[in-house]
Structure formats: C-alpha cells, structure tokens
Structure 1
Amino acid sequence: MELSMNIYKILDDLGISYKNFQHPAVFNCEQAHLLALDIDGAATKNLFIKNKKGNRHFLIIMVDDKTIDFKRLSQILDVSSLSFASSNRLDKYLGTSAGSVSLLDIIKETQGAVELIIDKSIFNYSSIQCHPFTNTATLEIPTMGIQQLLEHYQRPYTEIEL
C-alpha cells in the first residue's frame, strides 16, 4: 500500500475538479451534520465490513441517511453473515482509521482484497462528498470525477440497491 499518496495531487493530475472544505475532526455522519457545512452532493456513509470467515472485505458506499440491513446485504453479496471489520483490518487493507474512511481510500488498496460496493442512488447525485484520507476535511467531487478516478486505478465496483 502506497501510504505517501497525496489525494489532491492525484485529483489535480487527473484533471478532476473538487471543492475542499476544512473542518474539525468528525467521526460519524451525525457529527458531520452538526458542522452544517454548505456542501453540495451526496453525503455518504462509508462502511468497511467483512464476511464471517474474514476472507472477504467490502467497502460499502451509500447515501448517509440510509440504513443497512446486513442480512439482506449478505444475501445480495452471497456471503455468510457480515459484520464491521476491526480497526486493525481497516488499517491493513485501506490504510485508514475509523471516522476517516471514504470512497477515496479504495485507491490505496492495490491487492484487490477489498470489494467496492456502491449504492445505485449515489449516481443520482451530480457530486459526492468524500474525506481526503483524513476526517478534518471533506471534498466535493463530481460523480463523473469519481468514476474517472476508479477507472484510472482500475477499481471495479458493484452497484446495488440498498
């Protein structure tokens, strides 16, 4: 995993526009809402989960006001029961910590050990809110820019209805 990645340089080099909002550290969606920042786009909930055996890992990206039904999701993904992965696994696979997880972290995972799952409704928005490898900022990135970034890093994803 390349820990020296600079997400701003990556986005600039790829010509992907973004707006940067600096703010105090937030550790969950509720804290982010309390900041009342004027950011457009889909506010996202980013969940790092694993199957029961711990041999499959998933980064789930969904609109933050949705709730997840782990039983239904495990049926969709055809895996035995799902649970949140530990902070050690989060660091090992995505090089990040709880509260800082975002869609952007998937580009740091180069072994293909984490499956990216995106709720279809995300693509109804013109832009997406993402932490830039830290929970002290939020980037607003056009949805097409996110798709360009994933394509550049050859990161496939599965769209599902959550």
Structure 2
Amino acid sequence: MTLMNLLAGWGITPPLIEHPPLFTCDDADRLLVERPGTRLKNLFLRDNYGRRHALLLTRSDKQVDLKVLSRQVGWSRLGFASADRLQRYLGVEPGHVSVLALVHDRERQVELWLDRELEHGDDFHCHPLRNTATVLLSKTDLLRFTSRTGHTPLWLPVPAP
C-alpha cells in the first residue's frame, strides 16, 4: 500500500506536488519553489548516548540552538542522528525526511517535537517519503496523522542562537 493510499484511508487527502529532487531547504530556494503554506525544516536528532531520538519540525529558515534545546528537554547533548539511524527508525534516507516518515516508526521510538512557532501555521510542506514530491498537510491532517501513528507531538519553544 502506498503512503498516499494509507493517508486516504485515514481521511487525509492532501494535494500532491511533483518536483525535481529537493534534499534541503536551500535546494527549494535555489529552484525558486513557491507554494502556499508553511515550509518546514525536519531535523532527526539523538541524545548523546543514541538511546533517544526525536524528529523536530521548525520553520525552514530557523537556526536551532541544540545546546539550549538539549537543556530545555532534559536530554544529554543533542546531535544529528546518522543516516543509518534515520533508515532504521524512520525508513528514509537523508533529504527525504518529513513527519510522514513516522509511519515507519511502529514501535514509537521517535518523539515528535513541533516548534511552537508553527502552532498558527497551516498547509505544512512534507515529503511523502521521497524528495521528488511535496504534500501540503493541513494542521488538522497533521494532528490526525500523528494520532493514527501514535505519536503525540510535544509543542515547545525552539531556541535560536
């Protein structure tokens, strides 16, 4: 079953936009990709010991102070998880990450952190497990999706440097 079919079965039918591969937010900027809604940066993080993992969603243009965020959430030294961990926990390669990859985290080993600055956003730009397309996921559908996958979002003020 494809991701889009799964979403439709859950009553989630976002628009799908095909495009050239976009590995980073900068790639979208270079291609002058303009779409309505809220562009996201998706950071797959791990604690210092590699025992805890989180997917952080924030604005595409925001720099994140991982040292301050680490203290804020009470985790030992946050860092970026490796490509191997990304594949193991979310089933995608670097450049293909979005909240939709949580569909692969059936054991709910990855926490979902959402920047409070996104609370009033809508039509969130998400790769549907591949970086050659984007879906525009409404806030309602985002929360419906996370409910169906068993991931309760933690809304937090994400610190910038």
- TM-score between the two structures when normalised by the length of structure 1: 0.93
Gaps of 5+ in 1: none
SS at match of 2:125: strand
Gaps of 5+ in 2: none
Q: Are the aligned partners of 1:128 and 1:141 in contact in 2 as well (CA < 8 Å)?
A: yes
Q: Identity rate of aligned residues, in percent?
A: 32
Instruction: Give the aligned partner of residue 135 of structure 1.
Output: 131
CA-to-partner distance for each residue in 1:114-136, whole Å, 9 max, x for gaps? 11111112221121000000001
Cα distance in 1 for residues equivalent to 2:35 and 2:3: 19
Instruction: Give the aligned partner of residue 88 of structure 1.
Output: 84
Quote how far apart the aligned CAs of 1:87 are: 0.4
Quote how far apart the aligned CAs of 1:150 are: 0.9
Cα distance in 1 for residues equivalent to 2:135 and 2:119: 17
Cα distance in 2 for residues equivalent to 1:28 and 1:13: 30
- Of 99, 118, 122, the match for 1:122: 118
Quote how far apart the aligned CAs of 1:141 are: 1.3
Cα distance in 1 for residues equivalent to 2:148 and 2:83: 28
Q: Are the aligned partners of 2:108 and 2:150 in contact in 1 as well (CA < 8 Å)?
A: no
4+ residue segments displaced more than 3 Å: none
Instruction: Give the aligned partner of residue 29 of structure 1.
Output: 25
- TM-score between the two structures when normalised by the length of structure 2: 0.93
SS at match of 1:124: coil
Cα distance in 2 for residues equivalent to 1:98 and 1:22: 19
Residues 1:6 and 2:5 aligned together: no
Q: Are the aligned partners of 1:122 and 1:128 in contact in 2 as well (CA < 8 Å)?
A: no
Instruction: Give the aligned partner of residue 39 of structure 1.
Output: 35
- Of 48, 53, 67, the match for 2:49: 53
Q: Root-mean-square deviation (CA), in Å?
A: 1.2
